[in-house]
Chains A and B, each alone.
Chain A
Amino acid sequence: MKGRWNWFWKGGSVLLLTYVVVRGFCTPLQPGLVSATPSQLSVAPQVVDLVAVGQPFATSEDLPASFDVVLRSGDQLIRTDVVAITPHSVRIQIDVPPTMPSRALDAYLFTPASGTLFLGNACFVEDAAKGDVPPEFSASAPDPQEPDLGFSFPYQPNIMESIRNLLWHVPMWFAMFFIMGLGFVASLAQLRTDSISWDMRAEAAVKTGLVFGLLGLATGSLWARWTWGAWWVSDPQLNGALVTVLLYSGYLVLRSAMGDDDRVGRLAAVYNVFAFVMLVILLMVLPRYTESLHPGKDGNPGFNSYDLDNSLRAVFYPAVIGWGALCYWMYTLRLRMNRCAHHLLSR
């Protein structure tokens, strides 16, 4: 019975992670506008290219006439003509009006299949005077169309394709939290019973959890570099995560410093209980009281506050369970290894 159960959860974690990797990489990203060239306009007729990423918003059979682009200045709309389309860009002809409420223009692209794509502050008109858009330049908003995007991940400005990192980076922290929680329980049991068996469990849990914590830090740092522009930003969530990992490293330092001292188990258990309490405070409590670039402060971190739509949920939850199970598997391997080592050394 036990053997079958082992097969079930180990095989299950591998299957889940396979599903997550395939789905995570193969699911298309919804299209989103990223730039307008040129972005500096002057009062004259001119041609502007709007470029998008993600799945194509047009097919080669689509006609420019079925697409519509309007630019918004303040609360008024400016008419444009769509000249040409490709799967990832649209070329528009625009007669820039001499007067407009705001010199910064937002762009709206209305597509038949992908709904409305938006680019804030797409263009800036240097020499326009303040005033209303003259009627011959103005447009009325086209009727919004129901997008038909299929199974796809949501487009977020700036994050773009890297939204898929949600399936890699975030489960690292969930797995770490899970396995450190296990270590916490083991340390409490160790303090009650003073048995080497619980001590070995706690040690294996902390070592495995640290692997996932370090991976969480490294992946977060790479992601931050290309969304926030720096490898590390001084942010309560990030600094809290770093302090947590350092605290747990302290656990290992403490163990190796004590050497073969008989009291190592009890002391390490006390330290581990303290470290887990700090983990909860630093990762779950404190970031919610401060401003942060990092999402995941409102409600239940990771479950409510990412712009999780149902397509992301369908991959994210399996990712959390799969990585959690893999983490537990790594923990059991380490624990068995430590038990063998213990037997061998105490002979």
Chain B
Amino acid sequence: MNALLLLNSLEGFFFGSGKAHVVTGVALIILAGIAVSLWRMDRRLSQLEKESRSDKS
């Protein structure tokens, strides 16, 4: 365990405080994933708005 802490900083970071940072990493992945999915829907909606505006005119 102590030897692993010294391997490299990323390794040490995720092993630190009893692997609590792995949970932070997992939570961030999920938030990022949902944000990307929302962003893609946002882009599609903007496209649709543009199409509906050009239809009216």
Chain A residues proximal to chain B, CB less than 8 Å? 21, 24-25, 29, 34-35, 37, 53-54, 159-162, 164-165, 168-169, 172, 211, 214-215, 218-219, 222-223, 225-227, 330, 333-334, 337, 340-341, 344-345, 347
Contacts and interface: CB of A to CB of B under 8 A. Distances in A.
Contact of B30 (A29, A215, A334, A344): A215
A38 B28 CA distance: 36
Nearest to A169: B26
B52 to A, nearest CB: 6
B22 to A, nearest CB: 4
Interface in B1-39: 1-2, 14-15, 17-20, 22-23, 25-27, 29-30, 33-34, 37
Given A215-B33, A219-B26, A222-B29, A344 B55 contact: yes
Contacts of A160: 18-19
B19 A211 contact: no
Given A34-B18, A53-B17, A334-B41, A223 B26 contact: yes
A218 B22 contact: no
Given A161-B17, A214-B33, 19 more contacts: A21-B27, A34-B18, A35-B1, A35-B2, A53-B18, A161-B19, A161-B23, A165-B26, A211-B33, A215-B33, A222-B25, A226-B15, A226-B19, A333-B41, A334-B41, A337-B41, A337-B45, A341-B48, A344-B52
A83 B30 CA distance: 45
Query: Which of A35, A172, A222 has the largest number of chain B CB atoms within 10 A?
Result: A222
A182 B2 CA distance: 48
A21 B14 CA distance: 20
Q: Which of A24, A169, A219 has the most CB of B within 10 A?
A: A219
A219 B30 CA distance: 7
Given A53-B18, A168-B23, A337 B44 contact: yes
Given A334-B41, A337-B45, A168 B27 contact: yes
Contact of A164 (B17, B23, B44, B48): B23
